[in-house]
Amino acid sequence: MTAAFVAPAALWLAVFLVLPFIAMLVFAFGRRAPEGGYLPAFTFEQFLNLPARATAFGNTLLLAPVGALLCLLVAYPVAYYLALRADPRHRLVLISLIVVPFWTSLLVRTYAWMYILGSRGLPSLLEAVGLPDIRMLNTPGAVLVGILYGYLPLMIMPIYVSLEKLDRRLLEASADLGARPVATFFGVTLPLSMPGVMTGTALVTILLLGEYLIPQLLGGGKVFFIGNALVDLFLQSRNWPFGSAIAVTLVLVVVVVLTVAMRIAWRFAGTRRVDLV
């Protein structure tokens, strides 16, 4: 009974997760065919060539957490307002409005940003007030704006959920005991919303590690994430073995980042629980 119920999912995991991963591993030890593609071999040369993509890995490992932190900085006040300050009658509408952007294609919305950041958008407004020739599109800044735009809702939601669950009597108690609002925030609210903060940050960081579209469209092919380097290896260089080695490495990076994030989250959760008791 149990076996029958889990069989379809198990089949799926086997054919579309495990098998592709094994294929990647096998390819990663192969060689590039003369016209591109894959030649069977057993060599470590693809992995030895990984430093050739050090910059892309570096960019990703820098911009993913930076992007996530940026999202966090903007998302926290919004989530805080929605959970604790907004008129309860409007709360549902306001929350829905955070989610609604997901219903328009991210590609189309990112294209809109290409226009806003291009010469005919914001830079032309700046020119009108006497700041000519400011370039925004195809810069790391543009990519960060795209990241903030694309991932902000994903950061707001978990923080909102954890703030919303917060027992308001704790805040009253803190105030009754003479704590200033700032002290209450740092002593009570922030620690109690930590699970949401951790979830959001980990989620956004991990999704960003594999980002392709935003750097591609707003970075002009210049700001390269490892996802872009990966696509490039399959679509331009036709170097399947090296691409496979990079894909395998990227998965390892994700696993490492996830493990570290979970360790941190666990420590936070652990100590805070002690504090509360």
Partner 1 sequence: MSKFITKPITASEFTSEFMRLKRGSVTRRHFLGITGLGLAAAVMGRSGAFSLEAHAQDLGTQMSLATWPNYHDPATFEAFTVKTGVAVEVNVFGSNEEMLAKLQAGGTGWDLFVPTNYTISTYAKLGLIDPLDLSKLPNYDPKTETPRFTNEGIIDGKTYAVPKNWGTTGIAINTGKLKTPVTSWKEFFELAQTEAGGRVMVHDYQLTTIGNALVSLGYKFNSIDPAELTKAEELLIKVKPHLFAINSDYQPGMRATDAWMTMCWTNDGAQLNRDMPEIAFVLGKDGGEIWSDFYAIPTSAANKPAGYALLDYLMTPENAVREHIANGAPTTDSRVLALLPAEVTGNKIVYPDEAALTPLEFGAAVTLTDPARAEVMARFKSA
Partner 2 sequence: MRALVFLVYLFLYAPIALVVLFSFNAGRSASEFTGFSVAWYGKAFSNTFLVQALSNSLFIAAASAALAAVFGTMAALAIERMGVRMRLVFEGLFAAAIVVPGVVIGIATLVALAAVFSILNPVIAGIWPGESPPQFGLGYASIIAAHGLFSMAVVTMIVRARIASLGRDIVEASDDLYATPFGTFRQIVLPQIMPSILAGFLLAFTFSFDDFIIAFFVAGSNTTLPIYVFASIRRGVTPEINAVATSVLVASLILILAARLLMREKKTRPLGED
Tell whether residue 12 is a contact of partner 2 (CB under 8 A). yes
Interactions with partner 2, residue window 40-69 (CB under 8 A):
none
Using CB under 8 A, which of 1, 2, 4, 35 touches partner 1?
35
Determine whether 161 is exposed, middle or buried from the number of CB atoms within 10 Å of its CB (0-12, 13-18, 19+): middle
Give min distance, CB of 236 to partner 1, in A: 5
Tell whether residue 105 is a contact of partner 2 (CB under 8 A). yes
Nearer to partner 1, 140 or 191 (CB): 140
Tell whether residue 55 is a contact of partner 1 (CB under 8 A). yes
Give min distance, CB of 152 to partner 2, in A: 7
Tell whether residue 3 is a contact of partner 1 (CB under 8 A). no
Tell whether residue 137 is a contact of partner 1 (CB under 8 A). yes
Q: Which residues contact 215 (CB under 8 A, 6 or more apart)?
A: 143, 146, 223, 224, 225, 227, 228
In the block, residue with structure tokens 């959001």 = 200
Interactions with partner 2, residue window 118-137 (CB under 8 A):
118, 120
Using CB under 8 A, which of 190, 231, 265, 272 touches partner 2?
231
- Give me the 232-261 binding string for partner 1, x by CB under 8 A, dash otherwise: xxxxxxxx----------------------
Tell whether residue 125 is a contact of partner 1 (CB under 8 A). no
Q: Which of 75, 260, 94 is nearest to 158 (CA)?
A: 75
Nearer to partner 2, 66 or 114 (CB): 114
Q: How far is it, in rounded angstroms, from Cα 128 to Cα 116?
A: 15
In the block, residue with structure tokens 């978990």 = 158
Tell whether residue 118 is a contact of partner 1 (CB under 8 A). yes
Tell whether residue 229 is a contact of partner 1 (CB under 8 A). yes
Q: Which residues bind partner 1 (CB under 8 A)?
A: 8, 15, 32, 34-37, 52-53, 55-56, 118-120, 135, 137-138, 220-222, 224, 228-229, 232-239
